[in-house]
Structure 1
């Protein structure tokens, strides 16, 4: 779908309608969650009237709550320095400004919100993680989804507590602004059977699972690089796709998509250039080793094309632009790719610049149609 707009010469041109599958909603301070937390959780998060007091300029208690933190920090800032709101909010923290700066400017019909400064998917204390997730979900729904119907959210759950995750999905999973379930980590194999209750209710509610890089190598997270930790942010960021590959193989080989055929898994911010090789290797090994996985009725690549979706940012940028099209065609991924801006992060992909060399029909699929077929916006 496209709309017409006039350019500077007075002539009209088509402007692509956009669904953005990765927009980050920040809060300026964790204190914003106080109205959504009971007294017990406020104490454990060290917020509100229960915040530890300072004595002579120092915090009295060393038990102050801290989010699990990634070891790798962008030396230039992970946030776009041109996206601060006029009211002084950090980039991504003012829903009204984000609507003007991103949604209006890029003709975005829907934006899927992913948590930004809230990383609890592998936090070691699952009670705190579960309480925080519920508070954050309520905060995001009230302050974003109810303020502008273009905002849709991926709700947070903890994969370390599937029972609590199911209860949280039952609590808010049918709200009209909730369109996905965010597991917040990729450092555990997603094919494991203890996660099946989450998948069962997500399929029942029509909610795709969504995963995104967060605090790898923190909390209960294992290293994101199987051969050991990276030395630099550049190395860590480049190798994020390894986690997506490992988990797609887990989902396929463990038979998750055979058991839950309507379940979609969205991998956001892992790239896609590695996809053909992963498909080829899985298909080749399945031919010889299918006795190990008798539950797989189809080739692994068929499950991947049917049930896996990849948010495009940060899209690979080959020296020859036409090579990107060939990679997409080699993987048969025309229906798998979902445009994402990653606003307001440093390596975001602008809708009016990315995919400029791709055929018009394929661009329409990536920018709009594929997301429309992945998320239920009419909940």
Structure 2
């Protein structure tokens, strides 16, 4: 079977390379999918979960002038509200579906227009990684994974999926990976939080299961400063969305250091962590600083057999959106080349969000070879699309 898959992959690569001569091929590592409402999950929930989520026949109804229902369910709420709207106004479907909720329209509006071969779905409905009721969180994740697979992955082979699990219940997370992770089209696991140090050993069963099924870890801003999580900023909570959004990269840097210093990549060498929407340029001083400290303090981390920066370059990937925009565009190219992180960068559109990067408008000052790495080759070498 592996030989057949390699042959199919080689045939696909040959045809893809031919097509690449005319237009840049794209693998998009951050496409957001939305529920129109929680009622979309009704077919995937038992009655107990429907009641706890207040959906289906348990949804609040009028009865003799009074409202009757189970207690209203709400997602953990973030402290910060985008003042200009999180979604783009031009991404509503012709039928009025909210941006990111209509698979057919997303395929037409994004994939067809951008020559996208694969787009990795990343839920934007769930902040359940920090939800205080683990049973509800696990039930929601299971229902959402089934809904997304049936309504997106099975409808268009270009859609690939990052599945949801809760880091607060590693045993349940492993069972969900065993249930869903072997399905074609599932390529990553989304922990839905970054305010738990990812080097913590209680998370190792999740990493072991993900590595076993050939899945990568996709990390995206989600539950910071909501639910069970405290403020994401080290010096205290931000006052505005602008502060929160600007400082997101620090969360990723903290977790990258945790992963390296706790030896996660020594224990799980095939596992990659893809940090999406945390920026790119901040990794450069981190590489220099962690290598410098390791040279003096390596006896604290004797399990590290090489420079920390080598683990990072091999096992960490960075989504390019929101890309930093220096006054001189070539400065970004120089810092990427200076640090040697060309193989770490994965193109992300962040569709349908307010600050998304269009494939035909970014990296215009980059060399063609580097653009092809960012848009296509690096993702192809990161995710297992032909498992």
User: What TM-score, normalized by structure 1, do the two folds share?
Assistant: 0.95
Corresponding residue for 1:266?
274
Which of 32, 41, 53 is 2:61 aligned to? 53
Segments of structure 2 that go 5 or more residues without pairing to the other structure are 1-15
Task: Kindly indicate whether residue 151 of structure 2 is the aligned counterpart of residue 110 of structure 1.
Answer: no
Corresponding residue for 1:10?
none
Output aligned runs, 1:67-78, within 5 Å. Answer: 67-78=75-86
Which of 242, 255, 263 is 1:255 aligned to? 263
1:224-247 deviation per Cα after TM superposition (whole angstroms, max 9, x unaligned): 111011111111101100100000
Corresponding residue for 2:362?
354
1:255-275 deviation per Cα after TM superposition (whole angstroms, max 9, x unaligned): 000111111000000001111
Corresponding residue for 2:178?
170
Which of 289, 313, 318 is 2:321 aligned to? 313
Question: 2:129, 2:384 → 1: CA distance?
Answer: 24
Structure 2 CA distance for partners of 1:354 and 1:69, relative to 1, 3 Å: same
Following TM superposition, by how much is the alpha carbon of 1:64 offset from its aligned partner in structure 2, in angstroms? 0.7
Cα RMSD for the two superposed structures: 1.5
Following TM superposition, by how much is the alpha carbon of 1:276 offset from its aligned partner in structure 2, in angstroms? 0.9
Secondary structure of the 1:14 match is coil
1:178-198 deviation per Cα after TM superposition (whole angstroms, max 9, x unaligned): 010010110100000000000
1:120-140 deviation per Cα after TM superposition (whole angstroms, max 9, x unaligned): 111111110000000000000
Task: Kindly indicate whether residue 166 of structure 2 is the aligned counterpart of residue 158 of structure 1.
Answer: yes
CA contact (8 A) 1:137 1:155 kept: yes
CA contact (8 A) 1:271 1:312 kept: yes
Following TM superposition, by how much is the alpha carbon of 1:63 offset from its aligned partner in structure 2, in angstroms? 2.5
Question: 1:140, 1:4 → 2: CA distance?
Answer: 30
Structure 2 CA distance for partners of 1:370 and 1:59, relative to 1, 3 Å: farther
Secondary structure of the 1:294 match is coil
Segments of structure 1 that go 5 or more residues without pairing to the other structure are 6-12
CA contact (8 A) 2:58 2:70 kept: no
CA contact (8 A) 1:3 1:17 kept: no
Which structure shows the higher helix fraction?
2
Q: Which moved more, 1:95-104 or 1:57-66?
A: 57-66
Task: Kindly indicate whether residue 171 of structure 2 is the aligned counterpart of residue 189 of structure 1.
Answer: no
Q: Which moved more, 1:296-305 or 1:45-54?
A: 45-54
Corresponding residue for 1:43?
51
Aligned residues: 372
CA contact (8 A) 1:3 1:15 kept: no
CA contact (8 A) 2:219 2:275 kept: yes
Corresponding residue for 2:233?
225
Secondary structure of the 1:101 match is helix
Question: 1:273, 1:58 → 2: CA distance?
Answer: 56
Corresponding residue for 1:332?
340
Corresponding residue for 1:21?
29
Corresponding residue for 1:79?
87
Which of 121, 130, 151 is 2:129 aligned to? 121
